[in-house]
Structure formats: C-alpha cells, structure tokens
C-alpha cells in the first residue's frame, strides 16, 4: 500500500492570529486519510511566523517527541521544573506516563515536528513521567545503504524510548540521485518531504508532502536537485491495544 498525502490533503490549521501554521500528516478527528495508525497517533509540522507560546497544559500516557528543524524552542515541564532551550537539530522526548504538564515558547521563524506515539498507553500511565533532551552534536550523519542518514531513534541511536519497534531517520540526497530503499514488509512507514522535489515509486512529491507505506519491501526514490526525507517506521500491527483502537 502506498498512500500519497499532499500538503493540501493533510489536516491544515492556523492559530495565534495566523502566526502559527501547521500541516499534519497524522491527526485524530480529522480527514480519514490522516487518521492515526499503528502506534502513531499524531504528527504535526509547524512554522512560527512570529513568536508564540503554548501555556501550561497536561499530557498523560503518550510518548511525545519534538524535533527542531529550524529556529529554537524553550520548554518547561513539571517533571524537571526548569526551562530548557532546544536549538535546530535538537529533539526532546516526553514520556508523559502517569501525567505531567508542560509549556513551550517558540521563537519567530522556528520550524518543527511534534509527534505523538502510543507506547502502550494502558501500561505507561502506571509509570512516573520523564523528559529527556537530545542535542544535535550526538547525532552525526552516517552512510546507511549508500544514503547520508541521521538515526534519531532505533538501532544505532542513543535515544531511549518506550515505543516498541520504532525507528526515526532523516535522509539526505544529492542532486540527480536515485536509490532503492529496502523496507520491512511487516512495518508501516510515513515519509515526509523536508526539502526538494522527488519521485517516490514514480509519484511526484514536493516539500511538505508525505506518503504512507505498508506491505512493501522496497521504495524507489529520485531527486533531481538535493533534497531530504524524514521517516517514521513502526510495526504494522502493535502487539498491544492502542488507545484509539
């Protein structure tokens, strides 16, 4: 299965008087094509046109990751009780578990992902919450299957996460490049185009488009000019009941 999610077909939302613009390839309560799947509940790509602040608000059960693509974010939560700066290339992992509250100050020009996973909600709510920052210096690119790759989560990463079977990577492509990426047929994937125009299995995609994939063993990717993909791999069927299933 290969499902295209052009930016205009995702869940698009603008808040803070037009100063915070988000497109969401995964969201609950929205269009059917962006509904949660596997253990992936929510994925938002956002741009701050001006400085924005999300006040203190609660979370529980979910594992929430924020990746700073450009700009910076200051974060406060009731687990650490300190304000923590995050710069471009950094990411944070909130294991909200039995519950915490947090707030964020997002600087003008910031671009980030916020992604929510169900790591087995009905078990994690029994655990104490935690928060961990990861710095860009600890995630140097490597060459994996011929492609320049940053491994944020999964085998080869120092990140400690609760969600089982999770892999998150960022791929960098040179101009006029063509690769056949090997996939796990028992996994589901969402690839997000961070930069450039690409052909994925012959389908034309551009920046901020995405594609969902399952039950495939390989993926042909082409870039005419340099580009980037960010992808999430999860088990097609988690071995526990998700909170929305």
DSSP-based three-state secondary structure for 120: coil
The full set of domain ranges for the chain reads 10-136, 142-235
Query: In the CATH scheme, what is the homologous superfamily, with its name and number, of domain 142-235?
Result: Jelly Rolls (2.60.120.10)
Distance CA 159, CA 34 (A): 27
- pLDDT value of position 245: 82
What is the CATH code of the structural domain delimited by 10-136?
A: 2.60.120.10
Residue 78 pLDDT level (bands cut at 50, 70, 90): confident
H/E stretch holding 122 reads: helix 121-124
Helix (H, G, I), strand (E, B) or coil at 156: coil
Structure confidence by residue, pLDDT tens digits, 88-107:
999 999 999 999 998 999 99
- The contacts of residue 8 (CB under 8 Å, 6+ apart) are none
When the pLDDT of each residue in the chain is averaged and rounded to a whole number, the result is 96
Q: What is the pLDDT of residues 139-153, one digit of tens each?
A: 999 999 899 999 999
pLDDT value of position 145? 87
Domain 142-235 in the same topology as domain 10-136: yes
**Is the alpha carbon torsion for 19, 24, 29, 33 positive or negative?**
positive
DSSP secondary-structure letter at 37? B
pTM equals 0.96
């Amino acid at each position: 299965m290969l499902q295209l999610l052009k930016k205009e077909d995702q869940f698009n939302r603008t808040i803070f008087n037009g100063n915070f613009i988000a497109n969401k390839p995964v969201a609950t309560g929205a269009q059917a094509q962006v509904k949660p799947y596997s253990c992936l509940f929510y994925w938002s790509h956002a741009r701050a046109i001006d400085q924005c602040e999300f006040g203190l608000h609660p979370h529980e059960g979910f594992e929430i990751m924020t990746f700073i693509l450009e700009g910076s974010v200051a974060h406060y939560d009731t687990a650490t009780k300190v304000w923590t700066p995050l710069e471009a290339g950094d990411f944070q992992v909130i294991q909200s578990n039995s519950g915490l509250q947090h707030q964020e100050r997002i600087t003008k020009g910031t671009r980030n992902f916020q992604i929510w996973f169900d790591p087995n909600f009905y078990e994690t709510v029994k655990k104490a919450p935690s928060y961990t920052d990861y710095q860009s210096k600890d995630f140097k690119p490597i060459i994996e299957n011929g492609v320049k790759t940053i491994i944020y989560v999964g085998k080869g990463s120092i990140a400690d996460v609760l969600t089982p079977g999770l892999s998150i990577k960022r791929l960098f492509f040179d101009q006029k490049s063509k690769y056949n990426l090997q996939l796990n047929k028992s996994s589901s994937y969402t690839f997000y185009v961070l930069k450039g125009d690409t052909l994925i299995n012959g389908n034309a995609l551009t920046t901020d488009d995405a594609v969902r994939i399952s039950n495939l063993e390989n993926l042909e990717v082409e870039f005419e000019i340099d580009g980037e993909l960010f992808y999430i791999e999860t088990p097609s069927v988690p071995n526990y009941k998700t909170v929305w299933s």
